[in-house]
Structure 1
Amino acid sequence: MFFFSSTFFFSHFMIFHLNRKFWVRGLIIDTQRGNFLKIDRHKYVRLAYHGFNPISSITRKHLYSRTFNKVPSFTEKSFVNMDTLFQHVDAHLFASLVDMKDRGEYEFLDDRTYEEIYRQVRQCVDLCHRDGVIKDEVARNPEKYLVLDDGLFPMLKSYRDAGLKVFLLTNSYWEYTSVVMNYLFHKEKVGKEEQKKNSWLDYFDVCIVGSCKPAYLVDPYLNLFRVKPEDGSLLNTDGLFEIEALGPDGANKFLEQGKVRN
């Protein structure tokens, strides 16, 4: 169950129940039509839903079948790939609002296109991640939201014992990362003093938080800071310039000064 409230929708407050079994990764969202597509490797649409309602074979083929001179690419801006579990929330909210719009239940949806509704759903979900409404709750009650895995740290240890380099890369900032990783490591929520030790860091060669992925892959001007794990404070670095200045083995020398980056 999750709540949805936003100024984008004139401050309407709604409750939706997430059906995890309905969604899988690999689907494509047609934001222009409010449809969800399952395609094969030949880009043939095998299954299509409008909101939560199946689309007939005739309609599906009319909308998405290839013609003699055109093969659908599904790469236009109106198509969104569901590559991550995070997008299940977006998809469920969007499908729910598509059905509500089609039923004419709420006037505030009448003058919005499906594409506008999807864009506003994305803005709302992004806002929830930024303002702490999700992560603050998880940090307060990790046992309620996080699933423990007894094999996680033995697996990481086996990687390092085999000589492999292990890194953690996350968009979450240090404070939240520390809470989550300490909970996964100790298998319980620990006090502040124990949390400051961050013993789980011994299983990683480098830890990058607040990574802004995927933007960091294409933006050479993103700032790079060094994090002090004891208190989460940030120290300035010159990023790539500092690494290059350290010589041929600059990357390793840079990491030796501290393994946590922001």
Structure 2
Amino acid sequence: MRGHLIDTVRLAIEFIRFGGGCRGYNSSISFEQKILKLEEDNQLAEEEIAKIRREFDAAKQSFFKIPDALKGMQKMDPNGIYVNKNLRLENIQVYGFDYDYTLAHYSANLQSLIYELAKEHLVNEFWYPGSCLEFKYDPTFPIRGLYYDKLKGCLLKLDFFGSIEPDGCYFGRRKFTKKEIEQIYGTRHIGRDQARGLVSLMDFFCFSEACLIADIVQHFVDAKLEFDAPYVYQDVNRAIQHVHGSGLAHRGILSDPQRYLVKNSQLLRFLRMLKENGKKLFLLTNSPYYFVDGGMRFMLEGCDHQNWKYMN
């Protein structure tokens, strides 16, 4: 086909050369250059087609080898744990549970307890002003998903795209306006460099921590005292960790379980149903035994299985 095309073009050149007048010579050169260009393009096209054909043949051979490759794969570990979205619970024989916020649910009073204990630790051990003992936990202030900016001392609520929400930037207890946010951060969006200075306050146990950080910052602002934002977070976080790690929170909860623990009758019915259907149950937690034992005894109070250790 390419040969017929070239012959046709050559005839056109000859016609122009001898019958096209004084401009025939210049036109013939132009057409000859076009012929050479056309031949080069056709050659490149054939090379490209050949390349695609080779890649297709290689992919085809790889596809044919897939069944053999699958046969050679290692079988799944029967003792492994895998995700299965089509899981039928009736086929599961063993159920495991965490303790905090799974079996044990807490009232809002828990945040006040942690707040009070951490506040006292700041004053007694870290020599914060005694006036800090007057602070009271505000359950309406903190929300989930907050960040603390250790460089600027702000509490931030970020959206899905990493931008500060208009009503989600506080310095102490004072909410910044959009204009103030832009003055401090340049933009509402938190970049990668700025994100390195943020610490997350994500879970339920961080409510008291976020509130105490804001109250400490506000206290320094009102007293016109200079402070370093990173050390405020460090001190409050250490105080919160001490409350949990020393057992102060555990002993406080067990001292008045009615005040801090919430009995969940629906959960108890679910556990009873599993037990009646012959399922094995276990509890896995890093909380100390005395704390879990006391809490489980309280939550199973009045049930058939008051001794939770024999529900497995």
Q: TM-score, normalised on structure 1?
A: 0.62
Decide which of 54, 64, 87 is 2:206's aligned counterpart.
87
Question: Paired residue for 1:169?
Answer: 284
2-side partners of 1:32 and 1:167: how far apart?
44
Distance 1:66 1:14, change over 3 A: closer
1-side partners of 2:157 and 2:173: how far apart?
14
Distance 1:160 1:93, change over 3 A: same
**Partner AA of 1:56 in structure 2:** T
Question: Paired residue for 2:257?
Answer: 142
Question: Paired residue for 1:71?
Answer: 191
Extract unaligned runs of 5+ from structure 1: 189-196, 205-262
Instruction: Answer whether contact 2:153 2:171 (CA < 8 A) is retained.
Output: yes
Distance 1:184 1:40, change over 3 A: same
Does residue 1:186 correspond to 2:306, yes or no? no
Residues 137-177 of structure 1 deviation map (CA, whole Å, 9 limit, x = unaligned):
22122112112111122223446678887553333200111
Distance 1:146 1:62, change over 3 A: same
2-side partners of 1:135 and 1:28: how far apart?
26
Does residue 1:21 correspond to 2:21, yes or no? no
Distance 1:42 1:187, change over 3 A: farther
1-side partners of 2:136 and 2:243: how far apart?
17
Decide which of 157, 160, 163 is 1:38's aligned counterpart.
157
Distance 1:168 1:60, change over 3 A: farther
**Partner AA of 1:99 in structure 2:** Q
1:59 deviates by 2.0
Instruction: Answer whether contact 2:300 2:306 (CA < 8 A) is retained.
Output: no
Hey, which of these two has a bigger chunk of helix by percent? 2
Instruction: Answer whether contact 1:39 1:45 (CA < 8 A) is retained.
Output: yes
Matches within 5 A, 1:1-262: 1=112, 2=116, 4-5=119-120, 6=122, 7-10=125-128, 12=130, 14-46=133-165, 47-64=168-185, 65=187, 71-72=191-192, 75-76=195-196, 78-104=197-223, 110=225, 112-158=227-273, 167-186=282-301, 199-203=307-311
1-side partners of 2:222 and 2:262: how far apart?
38
Instruction: Answer whether contact 1:25 1:85 (CA < 8 A) is retained.
Output: yes
Instruction: Answer whether contact 2:150 2:199 (CA < 8 A) is retained.
Output: yes
Distance 1:133 1:187, change over 3 A: farther
1:136 deviates by 1.4
Extract unaligned runs of 5+ from structure 2: 1-111
Instruction: Select the structure with the greater relative contact order (CA < 8 A; seq sep ≥ 6).
Output: 2
**Partner AA of 1:8 in structure 2:** F
1-side partners of 2:291 and 2:162: how far apart?
40
Question: Paired residue for 1:257?
Answer: none
Distance 1:72 1:126, change over 3 A: same
2-side partners of 1:158 and 1:181: how far apart?
17
Instruction: Answer whether contact 1:27 1:38 (CA < 8 A) is retained.
Output: yes
Distance 1:89 1:164, change over 3 A: farther
Which one has a bigger Cα radius of gyration? 2
2-side partners of 1:159 and 1:74: how far apart?
49
What value does the CA root-mean-square deviation take over the aligned residues? Answer: 3.0
Hey, which of these two has a bigger chunk of strand by percent? 1
Instruction: Answer whether contact 2:154 2:170 (CA < 8 A) is retained.
Output: yes
The size of the alignment, in residue pairs, is 189
Q: TM-score, normalised on structure 2?
A: 0.53
Residues 79-118 of structure 1 deviation map (CA, whole Å, 9 limit, x = unaligned):
121221111111111000000111126xxxx353111011
Instruction: Answer whether contact 1:25 1:83 (CA < 8 A) is retained.
Output: yes
* Aligned-residue identity in percent: 22
Residues 3-27 of structure 1 deviation map (CA, whole Å, 9 limit, x = unaligned):
5223213573613221212221112
SS in 1 for 2:265: coil
1:119 deviates by 0.4
**Partner AA of 2:139 in structure 1:** R
